Chain A
Amino acid sequence: MTWFDRFFEKTSRTAARLSSRRSVVGGIGALVAGTAIFPLLPVSRVRGEEVTNDPGDPSSCDYWRYCAIDGYLCSCCGGTHTACPPGTIMSPITWVGTCLNPGDNKHYIISYNDCCGKSGCGRCGCVRNEGDKPMYLPQAANNINWCAGGSADIIYNCSTAIIVGVDDDA
C-alpha cells in the first residue's frame, strides 16, 4: 500500500464522519478501504505467460516483488520487472530486499537492479520501503543510485525486481 492509498483510505473515512451525506461518502470510504485491503486481482503476466504462483501485475506498484523498491518500474518503461528497457544497461551491483510472495507464502530475496544509460523514465514511480535501511547500510538501501560503478555511469532510468533466491530464514 503506498502513501496515496493510506491517505485516501484515511481521508475518505474522515470525510464520512464529517459529512451529512454519510451514506454516500461512507460508501466511498468502504470502497477505498476495500481497494486498500484487496488491491490486486490474481492476474499474472510474465512475458505473456500465466504464472499462478507469481500473482499480481508487474506494472503496478502493489506487485509483491516491489516491497522494498524506490524508483520507476521498468515494466512501464520498455523493459519488464526482470529485464531492462532497450538501450539501457543493467547495474551489476544493487540492494536487495526480502518480499513475501502471496502466491506460495514464501519469502524471496529480491535484487533491485537499476537500469542505466538513459535519463529517468518518469513512469510508474513506486516507493515502498519494507526493510529499507539508511545508506550507511548500502546492501539494503534503496536511496542510492545503484547505476554507480556500471559502464553507463550514474545515468538512472528505471528499476527491476529479480528473484535471486528463497529466504529460508524469514
Chain B
Amino acid sequence: MLKRPLLALLAALTFPGAAFSADLPEDPMGEVVTFSRQDHDRLVWVTDMNMPHQAHGRGYLIDPDTGAFLAMLDLGYWTTGIELPSDGARILSAETHFSRTTRGERSDVLVTYDAKTFQPLGEISIPPKRASVVKMQGTSALSDDDRFFAQMNFTPAVSLTLIDMDRNEFVAEIDTPGCPNVFGGGDRHFHLLCGDGTFLTLTFNDEGAVLNKERSDTLFDPFEDPISISGVRSGTHWYFVSLAGDLYDIEMDAEGVRLAATWPLISPDERQDEWSISGFQHLAIHRPSNKLYLLTHQGPPETFEDPGTHVWVFDLATQAKSDGYELAERTISIAVSQDDAPLLYGIGAHIPMPLLAQIWIYLTEGEAPLIETVQFGLDVYDAEDGSYQRTISQLGHLPSMIQPW
C-alpha cells in the first residue's frame, strides 16, 4: 500500500514541476516564420556552390549579431552568386537548371526572388551560356540604377548577357572576346577585365543597345603579376590586389577606366617572409572610414588561394597599414559591414576536434581524413580589433562569397 505514494513522492522530487503543472497546450499546425528586415540590425548573405553537390547551389541568410540562420535560397547548378538591388526588396540570381538534374535540357534563367518570402517572383530566359567558375566575383553585375543586369558567359567563347530588369526581358548577348569578368560603374556602363591588362567599357542606351566599346590603357602586367578578380568598390573606385600583393586603385565611370594609384599592400620585406594574399575574397572595404582589409597568410606564391590566417588593415587615404590581427580560424573569404561599429565576416574552415587530435590523425593517417572533417562556417569578428564574436556553423560544403545586405 505504501508503494504508490512513495513512487509519487520520488517522481515529484525528481521532476518537481511535473506533479503540479498543467499539460502543455497543443501547438498550431502549418505555421511559417515571417521574415522582416526591420527585425535585424545587420544581415549577411553567404553563397555556396556546394561542391561536390554542385547541382544544388545555395544562398544562406544570416543575422551576424545573433548568429541566427534565417533563410535560404536554392540557386541551381554551380551557382556563381547573387546580386542585391539597392531597394532591398529583391534578390537576383542567374541560374542554370537541367531537366534531369545533371542531364537533359539545359535552361539558364535570371530569377527574381522576393526578399521577404524568398519565393521566386519571376524569371527571364537567357542564353544557356552562363559561366560556371570557382570565384564568384566579377561573374555578374548590376548597373548603378539597378535597371540592367550583366552576366558573364563562358562556352569557352566569352560573351556578356544583358538583361533589362524594368522590362523583364533579355536584351542582348554581346561578344567580349578576351574580357570575361564584369564590374559595375555607371547607369549605362559595364566594365570588363581583359587578358591583356586592359579593361573594356561598354556603353549602352536605355534600350540596352551598345553604343560604344572602349579599351582602357594597359593598367597592369597580366603575365608578370596579374590582379585578382576579387575587387571591392567605393563610389567610382574599384580596388584590386595583384597576386604578389600590390594594390590597384582603378577608377571606373562613364569616361572609361583609369588607374588612379598603385602601391604595395605587402612590402618587399614581407614578401621575403612569404606573406601572400589568401583565399577567394581577399579584400574587404569599410567605406565610411575608408579602410581596406586584406586577408593574408605566409606561404610560397602558388598558395595565393590558401586560407588566410591574418587580416591587415590599411587606410586608403594615407596608403599606410594601420592595424592587423590574427583570425581565430583559417579563412577563405572576408567582408565587412558598413555601419559605425563594423563587423568583419570570414568564411572559416573548421576542423571539429582538438588540435592535438588533429596532429595525431595527420601523423598516423595523413591529411585525407582531416580534410573530410572540415566544416565551413561564418565567423564574426569585431572589425576594429579582430576580437572573435561567434560562428554560424555548418554552412554547406563550399561557401565562398559573403555579401552584407
Which of these binds chain A: B7-15, B23-31, B84-92, B301-309? B301-309
Q: In the bound complex, do residue A119 and residue B78 qualify as a contact, i.e. CB atoms below 8 Å apart? A: no
Instruction: Give residues 48-76 of B contacting A (CB, 8 Å).
Output: 51-55
Interface size on B, residues (CB 8 A): 53
Q: Does A100 contact B (CB under 8 A)?
A: no
Q: In the bound complex, do residue B78 and residue A32 qualify as a contact, i.e. CB atoms below 8 Å apart? A: no
Tell me which residues across on chain A come within 8 A of B227, comparing CB atoms.
Answer: 134
Least distance between A20 CB and chain B CB atoms (Å): 14
Least distance between A53 CB and chain B CB atoms (Å): 24
Tell me which residues across on chain A come within 8 A of B180, comparing CB atoms.
Answer: 135-136, 138
Q: In the bound complex, do residue B305 and residue A137 qualify as a contact, i.e. CB atoms below 8 Å apart? A: no
Given known contacts A149-B156, A153-B106, A154-B132, is B52 in contact with A122 (CB within 8 Å)? yes
Tell me which residues across on chain A come within 8 A of B226, comparing CB atoms.
Answer: 133-134, 136-137
Q: In the bound complex, do residue B134 and residue A70 qualify as a contact, i.e. CB atoms below 8 Å apart? A: yes
Least distance between B79 CB and chain A CB atoms (Å): 12
Tell me which residues across on chain B come within 8 A of A147, comparing CB atoms.
Answer: 132
Instruction: Give residues 131-152 of B contacting A (CB, 8 Å).
Output: 131-135
Instruction: Give residues 201-233 of B contacting A (CB, 8 Å).
Output: 222-223, 226-229
Tell me which residues across on chain B come within 8 A of A52, comparing CB atoms.
Answer: none
Task: Find B229's partner among A11, A127, A134, A152 (CB 8 Å cutoff).
Answer: A134
Q: In the bound complex, do residue B156 and residue A121 qualify as a contact, i.e. CB atoms below 8 Å apart? A: no
Tell me which residues across on chain A come within 8 A of B154, comparing CB atoms.
Answer: 138, 144, 148
Least distance between B203 CB and chain A CB atoms (Å): 21
Task: Find B156's partner among A70, A93, A136, A137 (CB 8 Å cutoff).
Answer: A93
Given known contacts A70-B134, A133-B226, A144-B154, is B359 in contact with A120 (CB within 8 Å)? no
Q: Does B363 contact A (CB under 8 A)?
A: yes
| Complexed CA–CA distance, A128 and B305 (Å) | 9
Instruction: Give residues 282-311 of B contacting A (CB, 8 Å).
Output: 298-299, 302-307
Task: Find B304's partner among A72, A129, A138 (CB 8 Å cutoff).
Answer: A129
| Complexed CA–CA distance, A4 and B302 (Å) | 14
Find the A residue at minimum CB distance from B154: A148
Tell me which residues across on chain A come within 8 A of B222, comparing CB atoms.
Answer: 133-134, 136-137
| Complexed CA–CA distance, A28 and B2 (Å) | 64
27 A-B pairs, CB-CB below 8 angstroms?
Answer: A2-B367, A3-B306, A3-B330, A4-B362, A4-B370, A6-B299, A6-B303, A8-B367, A93-B156, A122-B51, A128-B302, A129-B304, A129-B305, A130-B302, A132-B302, A133-B226, A134-B181, A136-B178, A136-B181, A136-B194, A137-B223, A138-B158, A144-B132, A146-B156, A149-B156, A152-B103, A156-B132
Measuring CB to CB, which residues of chain A are less than 8 angstroms from any residue of chain B? 2-8, 10-12, 15, 28, 31-32, 35, 70, 72, 93, 117-122, 124-125, 127-138, 143-149, 152-156
Question: 7 tightest CB-CB pairs across the interface, nearest first?
Answer: A120-B52, A122-B52, A143-B134, A145-B132, A3-B306, A4-B367, A130-B302
Measuring CB to CB, which residues of chain B are less than 8 angstroms from any residue of chain A? 51-55, 77-78, 96, 98, 102-103, 106, 131-135, 154-156, 158, 178-181, 193-195, 222-223, 226-229, 298-299, 302-307, 330, 355-356, 358-359, 362-363, 367-368, 370-371
Apart from A129-B303, A135-B229, list 16 A-B contacts with CB within 8 A: A3-B306, A4-B370, A6-B303, A35-B363, A117-B102, A117-B103, A119-B53, A134-B226, A135-B133, A135-B181, A136-B195, A144-B131, A144-B154, A147-B132, A148-B155, A154-B106
